[in-house]
Chain A
Amino acid sequence: MSINILLYKITLLVYLAATILFLVDVITRRVKLGTIARWILGGGFLLHCITLGARYFATGHVPVVNLHESLSFFAWAVIGIFFLFDFKYRLDILGAFSCPLALALMILGAATTAPTPTVNPALDSWWFPVHVALAFLGYAVFALSFVAAVMYLLQERMLKSKSFSGLYYRLPSLEILDNINYRCLTIGFPLMTMGIISGAVWANSAWGGYWRWDPKETWALITWFLYAALLHGRLTIGWRGRRAAIFAIIGFLCLMFTFFGVNMMLSDLHSFNALEGR
């Protein structure tokens, strides 16, 4: 087992520990655990940075080429973005919702540790890591907005129906959740837009055409329009709360389909096989 895979597996275990701590914290409301969980998660994040670095030096390319690498990068970005928001809001429950997501990505990634890929030289340009990094950072931000939207719907449900479970006491106010949702949108949307544009530029330099309507491009565009509609609704006609949360959830599901579904079900230029020149 190469060193970066070993590091990856240790990182996964550290994330697992942090996830368990966050969940126990939220279920039993032992606030001290949340602090410990953050330290562990922070340690895991550093380890993850080292893992990505080790992978970069071992393979010689920015580690976003095959499914394993993408999942790892995706999870890394989710944790990073979580910390950005946690810095401002300090919500244990956000950790309890975000960590399992990152953990799931990591486990999927562990199941797909393929041999080190080599990049098809025709596609090897600096646009490639820029395109993929922007796209995944956007994914991660939208993942957080998805998490906040789920939390919003749960909290809203309880406030409307007036029956409170223990979760009611752990969840923050609707205002904060809606706010996180909105912030994610204003950060994620530009990232996604730039991701698509940089992808088009890269495509042009590689294949001599900006847009080819392959399934991934089509789905990315559909998702982009969804988020654009949400942003527009929020800014101009006062969409907020429940409707915005539902939109954010649909948007993220589309995004996930763009990422997983298209890769696995439909073969095209964006599949990893094409990328590796097989």
Chain B
Amino acid sequence: MNIIVVGLSHHSAPVEIREKVAFSPNDMKRPLRQVLDLPDIGEAMIVSTCNRVEIYATSRNPDAGIAGLRRFMADFHQLPQDDLQPHLYDYQGEEAIRHVFRVSASLDSMVIGEPQILGQIKTAYGYAAEFKTVGLILNRFLHKAFSVAKRVRTETNIAGNAVSVSFAAVELARKIFGSLDNKTVLLIGAGEMCELAAKHFINNGVGRVLVTNRTFSRAERLAAEFAGRAIPFEEFPEHLHLADIVLTSTGAPTCILDRPRVEKVLKIRKNKPMFFIDIAVPRDIEPQVNGVPNVYLYDVDDLQGVVQANLKERHKEAKKAEEIIDLEIGQFHAWMATLQVKPTIVSLRRKFEEIRRGEVEKTLRNLKHVDQKQEKAIEALTSAIINKILHPAISALKEKQNGEGDNFVDAVRTLFALEGTAGETQFKPLAVDDEGLETDQPTPDQSQGAK
């Protein structure tokens, strides 16, 4: 059995194509059923987000399975084959496993490390589980993908640094002030960006908000929204020393804050650091202000620069994530390999033979006066017993090789504790929710009710 993937994403197709092949979340049953009815397809699930549409499936005959899925993608959405085919990519075997692991770990996302994709795949898996189009392999596969994504998130810093300008400002403030509790933010002007950044600051625990604006009523309105205090525009210089973080976005044609003023304010503050964020264009704060000790001034371009640096850092972390994925692919591949019938029969025979041998030797050691002939008879007797017991099981395995073989193989491996399965084959169905990560792969403690 092989895992196959067919789909398209922002890497391979423009939005005009992506929107045409999207699957509606309200109507997942029909396409899932149709995929399952395709020849050569064993299990299937469909992921459909605004950046990617992908079908994950299992197939005995991967090439035929992929061809079928490719055709299905166009047929289902009534698109001409020629329009769609160039945008579709497909993977099978190890490459398919890697692809799904990378997608769930958000390595394939437009913004690397963005957290939504994992939730979207969980939802997609949830539909497939609901309509029973996934079985042994995809169940195990998706659980593995979720736990890989979790590992990547906890062991790398892939989602660690802000990739939006307004959030980058919050992070910079953290690098300067540590905790933002008890810090005061002063908003000068009330642009949209400024408001957004202010919201981020408030959500991250800033203690107090002061608002000033040339139109006092607007300042009052904003102050009310943020549970802060409005200050008349003419008076804001007197309140400047109260602010740790100053956000400016006025429409003023010239600078409203210059270096001497800020130097004076710092003296009043006994050099407590100040962080100025100037979102206005033209700028509100004289660039020389950055030269005052313990003052940090960032304008829009600076913040963009921070975002770029953060993205670079994410790409570095992504390399580490790829290493984790390589490791996990190996493990999953090993499990897939155990699902093959022949090796299972071999190890089943070996196991029985080992048991027989051990018991016979034990008995012979305890029996005295056993001559060679009798010994041979015992050997023959025991061999005959295990062969008789094994015969129907082995024929069943061979017979089911092309149908539900995987389930049989897995059951046999579990029942007789053949290596490659120990303890790993049991898992609860996954509860699909936003923080469903914790419900992956129950650990022994959890199953014993440690919760």
Contact = CB atoms under 8 A, between A and B. Distances in A.
A240 B295 CA distance: 12
Contacts of B305: 162-163
A242 B294 contact: yes
A159 B176 CA distance: 8
A156 to B, nearest CB: 9
B131 to A, nearest CB: 40
Interface centre among B155, B178, B272, B306, by most chain A C-beta atoms within 10 angstroms, is B178
Contacts of B175: 155, 159, 168, 173-174
Interface size class of A (residues with CB under 8 A): 20 to 34
Contact of B296 (A159, A163, A166): A159
Contacts of B320: 28-30
Nearest to B179: A175
B177 A173 contact: yes
B316 A166 contact: yes
Given A160-B290, A240-B294, A173 B272 contact: no
Contact of B155 (A31, A160, A237): A31
Interface residues of B, number: 30
Given A160-B296, A164-B306, A242-B293, A176 B271 contact: no
B251 to A, nearest CB: 25
B422 interface: no
B276 interface: no
Interface in A151-208: 155, 159-160, 162-164, 166, 168-169, 172-176, 179
A164 B304 CA distance: 13
Contact of B306 (A29, A162, A238): A162
Contacts, number: 67
A212 interface: no
B205 interface: no
B298 interface: yes
B336 interface: no
Interface string B308-323: 0100010011001000
Nearest to A158: B175
B176 A164 contact: no
A238 B293 CA distance: 12
A239 interface: yes
A169 B270 contact: no
B174 interface: yes
A241 interface: yes
Given A164-B309, A173-B177, A173-B178, A238 B272 contact: yes
Interface string B275-302: 0000000000000001001101010001
B160 interface: yes
Contact of B161 (A159, A169, A240): A169
B177 A175 contact: yes
A166 B176 CA distance: 17
Interface of B: 155-157, 160-161, 172, 174-179, 269-273, 290, 293-294, 296, 298, 302, 305-306, 309, 313, 316-317, 320
5 contacts: A155-B175, A164-B306, A173-B176, A238-B270, A242-B294
Given A29-B157, A174-B178, 20 more contacts: A30-B155, A30-B320, A32-B155, A155-B175, A159-B175, A160-B290, A160-B296, A163-B305, A168-B175, A172-B178, A173-B178, A175-B176, A175-B177, A175-B273, A176-B178, A237-B270, A238-B270, A241-B271, A241-B273, A242-B293
The 10 closest A-B pairs by CB, nearest first: A238-B270, A175-B178, A173-B178, A238-B271, A164-B309, A241-B294, A162-B302, A173-B175, A175-B177, A176-B178
